[in-house]
Amino acid sequence: MDKQPKHCSFCGIEASASVPMIAGTEGFICEACVMLASQVVSSWGKKKELNEIQGPLPKPAEIKAMLDQYVIGQDLAKEILSVAVYNHYKRLKHESDKTGGLGSADQSVEIGKSNILLIGPSGTGKTLLASTLAKIVGVPFTVADATTLTQAGYVGDDVENILVRLLDVADGNLSKAEWGIVYIDEVDKIARSPEQAFGTRDVSGEGVQQALLRLVEGSHVKISAKGRRKEHGGGDTMMIDTRNILFVAGGAFPGLEKHVEKRLMPPKTAIGFHAEMNNPDDKPTLEAMLNATQPDDLKRFGLIPEFIGRFPVLAPLEPLDVDALIQVLTEPKNALVKQYQQLFAFDDVELEFTQDALVEIAEKAIERNTGARGLRSIMEHVLRRTMFDVPSKGNVERCIVNADVIKGEAEIQVVEREVGDDLQRSSGG
């Protein structure tokens, strides 16, 4: 009696020398069906992990509304970041659907990521936007400082250490880390330096940009599984796929506006009595120049074209004016005025800032050219003596800060509590 040929119980293909079969109790299964089943099971597992990390998919308007609670102004940058995070979530869902054939995603379309470059003066909220975004997003999020990065083999951090930090945030879960978001701060500090007079190598400039290209665009990168440097015996290594990791870079780029101005208003070279000269009043504002930034301007600043091309979305942050700084002082959940009022409230003292005092604080911050970051130092200087004296007195009811105090022309007005109030408080009435 002839032996019946073996067929795959799933696809029906006949066994041959090139098509091996795995025998089961009820039939056979071919290699192709085994691999397909593995992909489906893996996809379901990743989809479950994604739902656990992400929860309900937040809409861009919802993400921006949450950013508005902490960051004042910068609507354009917040919209760009909100859309980027929302699309990042959708990319993850699309990858899950495509791997296992789930849902209604078009499996013939491969969606790429759009990395973001934040450009704006110091103190406009770049780092605050990133740290606030970390509280909102449900995927692993880490902040890396570009100033610590150097070329491989030199003292400093290798670029792969960024991925090690992301893996640490994901509690060692490689799948979660491959869906994360990385913010690279102070990216303008790795701009290409001019030729050195003594021929020293620029190990923290262009070389770092070259090293970041592989990470930012998307590739398989080998990192130390234990987070130690590889050349010092870091133990076993592991591969991490950066294709689904969203990279957001930010920097102040001081002097960038000069390159933009030269492009927008090229100097006129005509001479003579009737020669037309540039009118200083026609010079565009810093905000307008940042909004008009083009990749060529970043190239003249010192970023290499390959690095610029991997950050297709430019998000300019506008300089903060007096009104915006007053809002920063008073409106967000973590507003400085609210913070210091709470500190005084711990000692049962009310702290009051007059409107002219807030204006003076904002104007002083603009004079120092420190943006919102300089507001705390101004308030610390103004309140330091009062914070030293008030806890020892015990009978202070209110402290009033006006514009003269900020200017240094007067002392903070201290209102003491009446004796009857002290007795009533001590008796618990």
pLDDT: which is higher, 369 or 304: 304
Whether domain 56-104+111-266+282-319 has CATH 3.40.50.720: the reply is no
Residue count of the chain = 429
Q: Does the pLDDT at position 17 exceed 70? A: yes
Which of 202, 187, 197, 194 lies closest to 150 in space, CA to CA?
202
The pLDDT value recorded for residue 355 is 95
pLDDT of 69: 87
- Which pLDDT belongs to residue 54? 52
Instruction: Kindly report the number of other CB atoms within 10 A of residue 336's CB atom.
Output: 19
Q: Which residue has the tokens 């899950």?
A: 96
Which two three-digit tokens encode residue 46?
């990743």
CA angle, 170 as apex, 165 and 176 as ends, to 5°?
120
pLDDT score recorded for residue 47:
54
Q: Are 354 and 404 in contact (CB under 8 A)?
A: no
pLDDT of residue 78: 92
**Which has the higher per-residue pLDDT, 270 or 4?**
4
Parts of the chain belonging to CATH 1.10.8.60: 322-426
Strands of the sheet with 313-316, listed across from one edge: 141-145, 181-185, 246-251, 116-119, 313-316
Residue 37 pLDDT exceeds 70:
yes
pLDDT in tens, 283-328: 677 777 777 888 899 998 989 999 999 999 888 888 888 999 999 9
Which tokens sit at 280? 């200083």
User: What is the per-residue pLDDT for 329?
Assistant: 93
Q: What CATH code would you report for 322-426? A: 1.10.8.60
Q: Residue 23 in contact with residue 101, Cβ under 8 Å?
A: no
Task: Give 130 or 229, the one with higher predicted confidence.
Answer: 130
Q: Which two tokens stand for residue 112?
A: 């790429």
Q: Residues 76-103: what's their mean pLDDT? A: 74
For residue 356, the model assigns a pLDDT of: 95
Identify the band that residue 403 occupies on the pLDDT scale cut at 50, 70 and 90. Answer: very high
Instruction: Give residue 234's pLDDT.
Output: 46
Model confidence, pTM: 0.72
Report the DSSP beta bridge partners of residue 248: 116, 183
- Give the per-residue pLDDT at 278: 56
What is the rounded average pLDDT of the residues 12-19?
A: 80
- Which regions of the chain carry the CATH code 3.40.50.300? 56-104+111-266+282-319
Higher per-residue pLDDT: 381 or 52: 381
Beta bridge partners of 240: 221
pLDDT exceeding 90 applies to what percent of the chain? 25
By CB neighbour count within 10 A (0-12 exposed, 13-18 middle, 19+ buried), where does 71 fall?
buried
Kindly tell me if the per-residue pLDDT of 254 is higher than 50.
Answer: yes
More confidently predicted of 284 and 149: 149
Under the banding of pLDDT at 50, 70 and 90, the label for residue 170 is confident
